[in-house]
Amino acid sequence: MEVATSAAPTALETFRMETRAWLEANCPESQRQSVKSYTDMYWGGKNPVFNSDDQKVWFERMLEKNWTVPHWPKEYGGGGLSKEENKVLKEEMGRLGCRPPLYNFGISMLGPALLKFANDGQKDHFLNLITAGKLWWCQGYSEPGAGSDLANLQTSAEDKGDHYLVNGQKVWTSFADKSDWIFCLVRTDPEAPKHSGISFLLIDMSSEGVSTRPIKLLSGNSPFCETFFDNVKVPKENLVGKENAGWTIAKYLLTHEREMIGGVGDTEQKTPLHKFALDHVGLENDILADTILRGDVAKWEMDDAIFKMTISRTMDEVKAGQSLGASSSFFKYYATELNKQKLELQMSLAGTAGNQWEGEASDEGRLPRYFCRTKANSIEGGTSEVQLNIISKRILGLPSK
Amino acid sequence: MEVATSAAPTALETFRMETRAWLEANCPESQRQSVKSYTDMYWGGKNPVFNSDDQKVWFERMLEKNWTVPHWPKEYGGGGLSKEENKVLKEEMGRLGCRPPLYNFGISMLGPALLKFANDGQKDHFLNLITAGKLWWCQGYSEPGAGSDLANLQTSAEDKGDHYLVNGQKVWTSFADKSDWIFCLVRTDPEAPKHSGISFLLIDMSSEGVSTRPIKLLSGNSPFCETFFDNVKVPKENLVGKENAGWTIAKYLLTHEREMIGGVGDTEQKTPLHKFALDHVGLENDILADTILRGDVAKWEMDDAIFKMTISRTMDEVKAGQSLGASSSFFKYYATELNKQKLELQMSLAGTAGNQWEGEASDEGRLPRYFCRTKANSIEGGTSEVQLNIISKRILGLPSK
Amino acid sequence: MALVLTEEQSMLKSSAREYLKENAPVAALRKLRDDKDEKGYDPTVWKAMAEMGWASLTIPESYGGLDFGYTGLGQILEETGRTLTASPLVSTVLLGTTLIKQGGTEAQKAALLPEIAEGNLLIALAAEETSAHKPTKIAATYTSLGKTHAVSGKKVFVLDGHVADKFIVSATRDGKTSLLIVNADAKGVSVERTIMMDSRNAANVTFDNAEAILLGEEGNGIAVLEATLDIARIGLAAEMLGTTCEAFDRTIAYLKERQQFGVPIGVFQGLQHRAAHMYCEIENCKSVVIAALQAIDKGSKKVPMLASLAKAKLGKTLQLVSNEAIQMFGGIGMTDDEEIGFFLKRARVAQQTFGDYNYHLDRYAKMNNY
Amino acid sequence: MALVLTEEQSMLKSSAREYLKENAPVAALRKLRDDKDEKGYDPTVWKAMAEMGWASLTIPESYGGLDFGYTGLGQILEETGRTLTASPLVSTVLLGTTLIKQGGTEAQKAALLPEIAEGNLLIALAAEETSAHKPTKIAATYTSLGKTHAVSGKKVFVLDGHVADKFIVSATRDGKTSLLIVNADAKGVSVERTIMMDSRNAANVTFDNAEAILLGEEGNGIAVLEATLDIARIGLAAEMLGTTCEAFDRTIAYLKERQQFGVPIGVFQGLQHRAAHMYCEIENCKSVVIAALQAIDKGSKKVPMLASLAKAKLGKTLQLVSNEAIQMFGGIGMTDDEEIGFFLKRARVAQQTFGDYNYHLDRYAKMNNY
């Protein structure tokens, strides 16, 4: 037990004990297994698909407690938990290994933007739908031809009085083929400088003129899609924030995304790299048989261990009142480069068996497909080059011209 | 013997046999030892200093055969050898280890420029002095504040009718304190675009207003100096090429310099790196005791061996008629980076003993001073960054804007 | 020998490039993959290659070959590396022909080499037994049945194993290592095709007392295998050189074409310096490959050293270049629609074939006694 | 414990920075070097440091110390790393005090620690015997003379060896390893100062049956030595962090100021990306240093692991940053007049002190059983 004093428990300690008891009683065994891919997750939506009864039960029980998004205000269907309570809940869920009952870009990305930039009506309407898991959201930022130059977007939203007429194309819209709604950057003023003519728009994916096409990656199938808008009518009330002021919202969201990607690191693999090495290469004279790979593995593990300390240190500093600022670029850059290096090493350690792309023996090429997939880590959510630019300009103050 | 045919020897074969015999008879034993530093070399000059009788004898014998600069035309005191003969002479000198009888920037750098750009009078006068070793030359290109941006030079030469009045400062002028003359880039038109107002001028270092100051490096003393011009009068006949057309000559010379530096690589150390490693670290289980350094040493030796093949291949291609072009930038970049890496490895291999800066045990810090000195390899003669710029623009054709 | 191609070699190379661009581009590999083609290579193309003499380049004239040498074969391989062409060139010509030349009896040469030259016979070397390259650590065994033998053992990563007519198998008996020829249709042979990430052909092959005959003399298996592998490493390095150059060329072209922030991304010095560095490494790759190929043709003692140098350097450089290619192509490079990803995948498999970078680094150090 | 400084630690750090900037900047080291100063450090500065309590930070209050902990000492070391200050902090405080605290008897602590706290006693650890760091491979021996002992052996790279009042020497007898205290003026002690590239103090010291007393118990030499070295590695890493940060700060300032082609060179993306990468590595250095310092103060079992992590990471990063600094400063950075070169030189010596990058990489792998 954490509490060894004779004094009465604090409110937070009571909350912890009650939460623990409730989770133990209510979280089905199967929902305590770690998530292996996005197909293990429940995403909600208009036409919800549960992949097991347990998943449904768990979602419904958590929904009832308003714990799908425990830290949002109660008026929007959130749990209204304080920062401290939310931390306790997370810790206790982590202790048991409970899966989040609901995944959705509405929670992780759109929600924070709505809370900050939306009007009351929008908050009321959309945040409640999000906490209830009633809409599956996707994100419409990137466009072909834009890439790192995100602000160079061409999808247009023409003012038609009561609605916008949207035309254009988005890429890298995850789950667009399954989503109910999309939050989107569109160009509302083609004459303005490129950052100034952008607006933030919510679009119903069932609108006429919206179509999607899945993108196949090097690694195989993916949740990514291309999304096409062909004379799509969008009511003006779906505009978030002011017209032509969407870039501010976009930047706010991008920082969120970057932190997510940087922080997540490698969710797929929990085994230490040297264990993987020992399994594949073995010992010789008490050291890893391949002495050159041994050095590379040690170098990687040291860098990784130290980077984790930096994450802790930064969290401690934020708690102590310092702001995170542009260092999310550092996390994004470093975490993704480390992950790529790790998979390079694993491929070397696995030898020719690691090159098998199909078949049971290789779990349908799990390793090489993940290897290929990691190559995108340093591209999506802002390339490594963009992160280095941000560091050199915003943190180091190096001149632009 | 190279020749195993029964036919009569060709003229070139005869030349080879005669040359070999002459060298064997005439090159003193001490002049067949490898050169360890510039103090072992004979540099010529108005006040010649020979560091041994052998050095004097060797110089005088070679001078008599006009072999101080064997491939220059006879009319300028050169040997008038054909390309093939010159190659044979070099090979035969290499076979015996004969030192060049005369070192001088007049030979390696100024000479080629004079041959290409000077008028007949200048050629007659200066080339004969160079082949006879009667002038010690230094080079006045770099200026403080110019650095990689060489054309940004400020030393001015004002037209005063029959002479120029030179004012300004040069840096990195090797041996300026010992030299008789300097070949110099000066600005003759301050109004012109920066590449267009530059002229190539020869200046007598004994002129009034010329002074020098040696530069101490990280590694200790060096042949480099700062050279100051304070109202120095230079006769107009010392202008090489046209006024304001000096940049062409400079570029021509720079390519020469780059090749020299790239080609030279490491003249100081001939022991293979792994021998150095074995001497310092030793074997354990039949492999180098430090397995991590072992990998680094092998990696370096492989890169070095392969780079040497590239030098051979390029020479073969040049012989086969291809032009060298901008690939001298590649040689310069790669050779100097390799050399820096080598010294990093040697410092690691030598351990704490390699950190001794003074004293007999360390030969007065030979290793760490050389280590420090190599850091300049990737700066002098055009930085690595400049070389990479040249490669990306001139070879790869990447755009500038 | 000067480190440049002869006129004949250059001509062979250009004609190969032209043929492959037309008849076996990357799109052809994609089609084989997407069609789940049973053979995994195009027999029509292979037949044409044989007709152009590509299968005969290293076969002496006395056996119906062109006796053109490995430097010539290297040019072909380099070009197939550019187009990522799946063909039996590596299995049958680079490995098979070399094994037979190095180890076979006069009769075996006379019987097999002309068939290979004609494009009628596919050979696969069954040597690897573990995921890590350890060619001389052999668990497979054979027994003598008088004139013939019987081989047992499990082999992995057998290139073109599922389409080969004959296997050449490494196995031991009483401490002697030999190579044995086994017909693909012999009893006791079972072949399981493995689909690899580069969409090229490989298989796991099990021999259960399969009938075999010795390739040449008994007990010379290690010597022939190692000599052949060194040649194969060099040939593969030549192929990887083509793959590296093509991936690089495509990347440079993309840097000039792709617009971001109103300029082609090739103006950014961060990318320029990385591209220039790759250029330097590729120049070095060209040197070691031609030096190594010529060493084979000269019968130089330096072949093993050059084989490790070439395979290591190309492995490292192709890894660098294919990774940088994806990064510089950005999101588009991650899609299966864009061909650059095929180069990344091929790079990884080629890296693991015949010993990876670390294997050859270690071997190089050992050859220099440290 | 949160990975941030307490208010007291931050204040200590700021005041140290101010003092050192004023009283012991890089110029002071240059002067000691150029004057061929006999001591190689400034006793006035050392006295002042002691008066400010820097020599007492890790000494318990009962022995006249401040008991402020190693995290506090680390802040001082970091600041001396910025100014490259030559002082007995490493030899006497980081090593000496720790050795006595870890290994000494009650009486030894009571006698020696207050003297150190006052700045009156300099201690040098004589442990290394070879150029490579192998602290537990000890050839020096000692014999018993009843109450006292006699030590013989040759020690190298003894930090502050030529100015120390007492040596603590590692030596063996009958398979037992012990630490022994030898007075610098004892018979049989000969000291040869070695001038190192960083202009800091070191010496080779020979003991020829020199009179000695045991530090604490016989036979606990390895344990005390290793525990002390791990603390010293972390302290040195803190010092190296300061050196790294200062070299980096100066480089960034130079990138903003130096004009080439009409612009500050900091606009070039090739340099920007390298600078940004260094920034990331330095952030990591800060994390591992504070985590390791706090681990000492917590008495954590992870100290050895963290010591290797910290020393390795700082060694690698300081090497990178000091090399890049010279390259980015260009020609001016190569001159002795410019101070940046002092950082390169210090980087190399610090790298070799208490085990270099490879040593700790290897040790880390061994600690993780691979």
How far is the CA of D250 from the CAs of A396, B284, D83, in angstroms? 12, 43, 12
pLDDT digits (tens, 9 = 90+) for D308-323: 999 999 999 999 999 9
Residue D365 has pLDDT above 70, yes or no: yes
Judge if A388 and A272 occupy the same domain: yes
Q: Which structural domain, as residue segments, surrounds residue A60?
A: 9-103
Neighbouring CB atoms inside 10 A of D133's CB total 20
Rounded Cα gap, residues B398 and D130, in angstroms: 52
Instruction: Indicate the pLDDT class of residue A346, thresholds 50, 70 and 90.
Output: very high
Residue D64 lies in a domain: yes
Domain residues for D185? 124-219
C256-281 residue pLDDT tens: 999 998 999 999 999 999 999 999 99
pLDDT at D255 over 80: yes
Q: ipTM score of the complex?
A: 0.93
Domain edge (last residue) among B103, B123, B145: B103
**Site from A274, A302, A307 to mutate, D interface, most D CB atoms within 10 angstroms:** A302
Instruction: Give the end of a domain, one of D120, D141, D172.
Output: D120
Judge whether C175 lies within some domain. yes
Q: What is the pLDDT of residue B266?
A: 43
Q: What distance in Å separates the CA atoms of residue B331 and residue C164, rounded to the nearest whole number? A: 46
Three-class HEC string of A300-327:
HHHHHHHHHHHHHHHHHHHHCCCCCCCH
Q: Are residues A267 and A383 in the same domain?
A: yes
Answer yes or no: do B241 and B267 share one domain: no
Q: What is the pLDDT of residue B2?
A: 45
Domain-terminating residue out of A79, A103, A127: A103
Last residue of one domain, picked from the residues D67, D101, D120: D120
| DSSP H or E run through C157 | strand C148-159
Residue D1 included in any domain: no
**Domain end among B103, B121, B152:** B103
Find the closest chain D residue to A277 by CA distance.
D370
Let me know whether D233 and D361 are in one domain. yes
Domain count along chain A = 3
Q: pLDDT at position B378, please?
A: 96
| Res B257 pLDDT > 80 | no
Residue C1 lies in a domain: no
Angle formed by the axes of helices C70-83 and C269-298, nearest 10°: 150
Is C197 within 8 Å of A216 when comparing Cβ atoms?
no
Q: Mean pLDDT over residues D168-181, rounded?
A: 97
Which of C132, D168, C211, C267 is CA-nearest to residue A353? C132
Residue A116 lies in a domain: no
Name, in order, each residue with C-beta under 8 angstroms of D217's C-beta and a sequence gap of 6 or more: D103, D178
Q: Is residue A17, in this structure, part of any structural domain at all?
A: yes
Q: Give the CATH number for residue B284.
A: 1.20.140.10
Same-domain pairing of B55 and B147: no
CB atoms within 10 A of CB B263: 13
Residues of B in contact with A294 (CB under 8 A): 291
Q: Which amino acid is at A301?
A: E
Check residue A381 and give its pLDDT: 84
Radius of gyration of chain A (CA): 23
| C-alpha closest to that of D79 among D57, D96, D100, D62 | D57
CB B192: neighbour CB atoms within 10 A? Answer: 12
Closest CA to D74 of D291, D260, D267: D291
The predicted model gives C213-240 an average pLDDT of 98
Considering the domain architecture, whether residues C58 and C152 belong to the same structural domain is answered as no
Q: In chain D, which residues touch A (CB < 8 A)? A: 2-4, 252, 255-256, 263-264, 266-267, 269, 272-273, 275-277, 279-280, 283-288, 290-291, 309, 312-313, 358, 361-362, 364-366, 368-370
Instruction: Tell me the average pLDDT across B112-138.
Output: 96
- The tens digit of pLDDT for each residue in A137-148 reads 999 999 988 877
Q: Which residue is closest to D273 within chain C, CA to CA?
A: C270
Cβ pair A218:C344 closer than 8 A: yes
CA distance C79 to A374: 29
Query: C272: distance to nearest CA of chain D, Å?
Result: 8
- Same-domain status, D283 and D267: yes
Taking the C-alpha atoms of residue D67 and residue D75, their distance in angstroms, rounded to an integer, is 15
Summarize pLDDT for C285-313 with one digit per residue, the tens.
Answer: 999 999 999 999 999 999 999 999 999 99
- Domain presence at residue A258: no
Least confident range from A3-17, A260-274, D273-287, D319-333: namely: A260-274
Half-sphere exposure of B226 (CA within 13 A, CB side): 14
Question: Are residue B305 and residue B371 in the same domain, yes or no?
Answer: yes
Q: What is the mean pLDDT of residues A149-171?
A: 94
| CATH code at position A161 | 2.40.110.10
A264 falls in which pLDDT band (50, 70, 90)? Answer: very low
d(CA B149, CA C74): 44
Distance from CA of A320 to the nearest CA of D (A): 8
- Does one domain contain both A239 and A277? no
Are residues D227 and D362 located together in one domain of the fold?
yes
In this structure, chain B runs to a length of 401
Rounded to an integer, the average pLDDT of D66-89 is: 98
Q: Report d(CA A85, CA A77) in Å as an integer.
A: 17
Closest chain B residue to the Cα of A295, Cα to Cα: B292
Region B275-290 average pLDDT:
94
Indicate if C230 and C351 belong to the same structural domain.
Answer: yes
3-state secondary structure of D299: coil
Percent of chain C whose pLDDT exceeds 70:
100
pLDDT score at A8: 77
Mean pLDDT of B94-117: 92
pLDDT in the model for residue A1: 37
Total number of domains in chain C: 3
Q: Is B256 a member of any domain? A: no
CA separation for the pair A189, A75 (Å, rounded): 35
Q: Cα separation of B273 and B276, whole Å?
A: 5
Query: Domain with B13 in it: what CATH number?
Result: 1.10.540
> Do both A163 and A98 map to the same domain?
no
pLDDT of residue B40: 86
**CA–CA gap between residue D277 and residue D264 (Å, rounded):** 20
| C108 in Cβ contact with C221 (< 8 Å) | no
Could you tell me the end-to-end alpha-carbon distance of chain C, in angstroms, rounded to an integer? 30
Q: How far is CA B16 from CA B20, B97, B111, C156, in A?
A: 6, 16, 26, 58
Give the rounded percent of residues in chain A with a pLDDT score beyond 70. Answer: 95
Residue C2 lies in a domain: no
Residues D303 and D264 in one domain: yes
A217 touches chain C (CB under 8 A): yes
- How many contacts does B have with D, using Cβ atoms within 8 A? 119
Sign of the CA dihedral D26, D27, D33, D36? negative
Question: What pLDDT was estimated at residue B108?
Answer: 87
A356 has a pLDDT exceeding 90:
yes
> Which tokens hold the place of D290?
């504070």
- Whether A108 has a pLDDT exceeding 90, the answer reads no
- Say yes or no: D352 and D234 in one domain: yes
**Model confidence at B6, in pLDDT bands (50, 70, 90)?**
low
> Chain D: nearest CA to C271, how far in angstroms?
8
Same domain, residue pair C93 and C25: yes
* B1 confidence band (pLDDT: 50, 70, 90): very low
Cα–Cα distance measured from residue A353 to residue A361, given in angstroms and rounded to the nearest whole number: 9
Q: Hey, of A285, A306, A324, A336, which one would you mutate to test binding to chain D, going by the most D CBs within 10 A of its CB?
A: A306
Say if residue B27 is in the same domain as residue B91: yes
The CATH number of residue C109's host domain is: 1.10.540.10
| pLDDT for the residue A158 | 96
| Residue D335 located in a structural domain | yes
Token pair in block for residue B172: 């990195």
Q: Point out the residue among D263, D275, D370 whose CB comes nearest to the CB of A287.
A: D370
- pLDDT at C319 (0 to 100): 98
* Touching subunits for chain B (3+ Cβ pairs under 8 A): A, C, D
CA D153, CA D159: separation in Å to the nearest integer? 17
- Provide the shortest C-alpha distance from residue C133 to chain B (in Å): 18
Q: Are residues B373 and B282 in the same domain?
A: yes
Q: Is residue A348 part of a domain?
A: yes
User: What average pLDDT does the segment A202-217 reach?
Assistant: 97
**How far is the C-alpha of D340 from the C-alpha of D349, rounded, in Å?**
15
Question: Mean per-residue pLDDT for A208-229?
Answer: 95
Nearest-Cα distance to chain A for D9, in Å, is 15
pLDDT of residue B248: 93
Same domain, D231 and D356: yes
pLDDT of residue A73: 95
- Per residue in B286-303, pLDDT tens? 999 999 999 999 999 999
In a domain, B203, yes or no: yes
pTM of the model: 0.92
State how far the Cα of B179 lies from the Cα of A122, in Å rounded to an integer.
Answer: 82
pLDDT, mean over chain D: 97
pLDDT given at position B315: 86
Task: Tell me the longest C-alpha to C-alpha distance in chain D.
Answer: 77
| Whether pLDDT at D369 is above 90 | yes
Residue B77 to residue B134: CA distance in whole angstroms: 12
Q: Please report, for the domain that includes residue D144, its CATH number.
A: 2.40.110.10
Does residue B268 sit in the same domain as residue B329? yes
Does the pLDDT value for residue D127 go beyond 60? yes
Q: How far is CA A72 from CA A13, A81, A241, in A?
A: 21, 7, 20
Give the pLDDT score at B307.
Answer: 96
- Nearest chain C residue to B399 by CA: give it: C267
User: Looking at the predicted structure, is the pLDDT value of residue B7 above 70?
Assistant: no
pLDDT at A150 over 90: no
CATH number at residue C251: 1.20.140.10
Partner chains of D (3+ C-beta pairs under 8 Å): A, B, C
List pLDDT tens digits, range B160-171.
Answer: 999 999 999 999
Domain end marker among D92, D120, D148:
D120
Predicted local confidence at residue A319, as pLDDT:
81
Q: Are D192 and D172 in contact (CB under 8 A)?
A: no
Alpha helices, DSSP H only, in A65-178?
A: 83-96, 105, 111-117, 120-122, 128-131
For B350-400, the pLDDT digits (tens) are: 999 999 999 999 999 999 999 999 999 999 988 999 999 999 999 999 998
What is the sign of the dihedral through the CA atoms of C283, C284, C286 and C291? positive
> What local confidence, expressed as pLDDT, does residue D138 receive?
98
Determine whether the interchain pair B287/C366 forms a contact, defined as Cβ–Cβ distance below 8 Å: yes
On whether both D235 and D159 belong to a single domain, the answer is no
Residue A214 has which token pair?
């899945």
Residue A389 and residue A267 share a domain: yes
Q: Which residues are bridge partners to A264 per DSSP? A: none
**Does D208 fall in a domain?**
yes
**Same domain for C115 and C135?**
no
Which residue type does C175 have?
A: G
Mean pLDDT, chain A, integer: 91
Question: Residue B268 has what pLDDT?
Answer: 47
Same domain, A286 and A364: yes
Per-residue pLDDT band for A2 (boundaries 50, 70, 90) equals very low
Alpha-carbon distance of A72 to A79, in angstroms, equals 6
Residue of B nearest to C368 (CA): B274
Residue B401 falls within a domain, yes or no? no
Residues C246 and C354 placed together within one structural domain of the fold: yes
